[in-house]
Amino acid sequence: MKGRVLIVAGSDSGGGAGIQADIKTVTALGGYAATAITALTVQNTLGVTAVHAAPVEIVAAQMQAVLDDIGADAIKTGMLGDVATVEMVAATLDRHARGIPVVVDPVMIAKGGHALLAADAVDTVCALMVPRAALVTPNAPEAEALTGLAVNDVDGQRRAGERLCALGAGAALVKGGHIAGDVICDVLVTAEGAQVFQSPRIATRATHGTGCTLASAIAAYLARGESMAEAVRLAREYLMEAIRRAPGFGAGHGPVDHAWTTRERR
């Protein structure tokens, strides 16, 4: 049975992003989620107020424990935090996860503006994680930081995606949620070319954890054997519906409804 996803990311005490969103997403899509927690964050819908990083050797040990026993059909990385953690995760992938597709969500800044990746670690993510990625999923500001290119429109997204593929990524999904407009365009760049996915922008505050959720949904579909383009399409559909059904919790950027698929199956 396929569907095992190892998630390497930080914990969100508010439950809307990070490991919590990842586990909910993979489970809601019928997969099995295992985790390696990189950091504890103190946060809610209003923002992040503290971060406590896990020792790098414990991050690596969590990954190895899962991969040596349970195994994984896909791996998703999220918040890595600093250079030492990025280096350890990359090395552990090389030792224990050869041949497993890795979805790299280069988490840099929380929705409320708190930095989740040290400034000096951006180049390390570029050098070590992007080449190990079957797919890298930056939003527009993250794509600009990783490539040095302006990402203000679909052409900019395509160029950034091409640059990320040139840096070694198997594919790049450059997301357009941060680009103004009534329609959100996400651009998937692969060796076959570029594909644009469009959806109407939903007027809502429920955008907390959307990047984590999308990347984990893609990983869940890849773990089930879907092609890259189909995994992206299905994951976007899942996320859009989760946003539409958001429960309205919190006074800030609220969480989406990760569990809507479980109610559909009843």
Catalytic residues: 175, 207, 209-212
Per-residue HEC secondary structure of the chain comes to: CCCEEEEEEEEECCCCCHHHHHHHHHHHCCCEEEEEEEEEEEEECCEEEEEEECCHHHHHHHHHHHHHHCCCCEEEECCCECHHHHHHHHHHHHHHCCCCCEEECCCCECCCCCECECHHHHHHHHHHHHHHCCEECCCHHHHHHHHCCCCCCHHHHHHHHHHHHHCCCCCEEECCCCCCCCEEEEEEEECCEEEEEEEECCCCCCCECHHHHHHHHHHHHHHCCCCHHHHHHHHHHHHHHHHHCCCCCCCCCCECCCCHHHHHCC
